[in-house]
C-alpha cells in the first residue's frame, strides 16, 4: 500500500475538528477567533456557502496560527479552488476515484469521506489511511465504527455527522479514532447573536 501523500499532521493531537458553515464574510474572523480562544486551532470551513473561499482566505491572512481546511470538497475543481484560497487540507463527504487520485498528487492532504468497508478499501488502495466516517451517527455510530475498524486494521477515522458533546467521548475511546468532527461547537443561534 502506498502512503498518503501528506501525513495528517494537521489532525494529530487536535481530537476535535470544528466544522464551520460561514454565511456572512464578517462572521469569519470572529468565529475563527472564538475557536482559537477555545483551544481549537484546526478547523474546517465548508464550501457550502458563497463566501466560504473568501472566508478561508481571510482567516489564513489574519490568523496565521490557525490550520484551516476546506470541507464539502466534492471534486477536483473544488479541491483546486480550496488550495488557491489558502486552505491547508481538504475534507470530502464521500469518495470518488477522480477526487482521490487528484488529491493524491496535489499539494494539500485530503480527508476523504467513507460510509462502508468497500469505500475504506478503495480509499486505502489509493493511499489513504485516514478517512472521515460520515455521517457517523446515521450509519450506526460507535457500534458500526467499532465493527468496521476491527476488519480494517491500519485505518484511522475521523467520524463526523451527528457528533455531540454527549456521544463524542465514546468515539474518542476507540483506538482507530484520531479525532471527531462536527458543527456543535458553533451553534447557529450563538452565531446569529454574534
Q: 3-state DSSP call for residue 56?
A: helix
Contact segment (CB under 6 A) with ligand 3PG among 54-62, 94-102, 122-130, 180-188 equals 180-188
Nearer to ligand 3PG, 8 or 71 (CB): 71
Q: Which string of DSSP letters, residue by residue, matches the chain?
A: -PPPSS--TTTTTT-EEEEE--SSGGGHHHHHHHHHHTT--EEEEETTSTTHHHHHHHHHHH-TTSEEEEE---SHHHHHHHHHHT-SEEE-SS--HHHHHHHHTSSS-EE-EE-SHHHHHHHHHTT--EEEETTTTTTTHHHHHHHHHHHSTT-EE--BSS--TTTHHHHHTSTTB--EEESTTS-HHHHHT-
Nearer to ligand 3PG, 2 or 116 (CB): 116
Question: Which lies closer to ligand 3PG via its Cβ, residue 58 or residue 160?
Answer: 160
Among 34-42, 117-125, 158-166, 167-175, which window interacts with ligand 3PG (CB under 6 A)? Answer: 158-166
Report if residue 182 touches ligand 3PG, rule: CB under 6 A. Answer: yes
Contact segment (CB under 6 A) with ligand 3PG among 79-87, 104-112, 115-123, 182-190 equals 182-190
**Set 9, 23, 119, 132: catalytic member:** 132
176 binds ligand 3PG (CB under 6 A): no
- The closest of 100, 156, 184, 152 to 91, measured between CA atoms, is 100
Q: Interface with ligand 3PG includes 46 (CB under 6 A)?
A: yes
Q: Is 192 tagged catalytic? A: no
Order of strands, sheet of 156-157, starting from the edge strand that comes earlier in the sequence:
113-114, 130-133, 156-157
Query: Of 96 and 183, which has the nearer Cβ to ligand 3PG?
Result: 183
- Do 31 and 68 form a contact (C-beta atoms < 8 A)? no
Confirm whether 166 is a catalytic residue.
no
The single residue among 4, 85, 160, 176 that binds ligand 3PG, judged by CB under 6 A, is 160
Q: One of 9, 23, 33, 44 is an active-site residue; which one? A: 44
Indicate whether 142 belongs to the interface with ligand 3PG (CB under 6 A).
no
What is the set of active-site residues? 44, 132
Q: Which residues contact ligand 3PG (rule: CB under 6 A)?
A: 19, 46, 71, 160-163, 181-184
Amino acid at each position: 500500500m502506498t502512503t498518503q501523500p501528506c501525513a495528517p499532521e494537521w489532525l494529530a493531537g487536535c481530537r476535535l475538528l470544528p466544522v464551520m458553515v460561514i454565511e456572512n464574510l464578517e462572521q469569519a474572523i470572529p468565529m475563527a477567533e472564538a475557536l482559537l480562544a477555545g483551544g481549537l486551532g484546526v478547523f474546517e470551513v465548508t464550501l457550502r456557502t458563497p463566501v466560504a473561499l473568501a472566508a478561508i482566505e481571510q482567516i489564513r491572512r489574519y490568523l496565521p496560527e490557525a490550520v484551516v481546511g476546506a470541507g464539502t470538497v466534492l471534486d477536483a475543481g473544488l479541491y483546486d479552488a480550496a488550495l488557491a484560497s489558502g486552505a491547508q487540507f481538504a475534507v470530502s463527504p464521500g469518495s470518488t476515484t477522480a477526487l482521490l487520485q487528484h488529491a493524491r498528487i496535489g499539494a494539500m492532504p485530503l480527508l476523504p469521506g467513507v460510509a462502508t468497508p468497500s469505500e475504506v478499501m478503495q480509499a486505502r488502495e489509493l493511499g489513504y489511511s485516514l478517512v472521515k466516517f460520515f455521517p457517523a451517527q446515521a450509519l450506526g455510530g460507535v457500534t458500526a465504527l467499532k465493527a468496521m475498524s476491527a476488519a480494517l486494521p491500519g485505518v484511522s477515522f475521523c467520524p463526523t455527522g451527528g457528533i455531540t458533546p454527549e456521544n463524542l467521548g465514546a468515539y474518542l475511546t476507540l483506538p482507530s479514532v484520531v479525532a471527531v468532527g462536527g458543527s456543535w461547537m458553533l451553534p447557529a443561534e450563538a452565531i446569529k447573536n454574534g
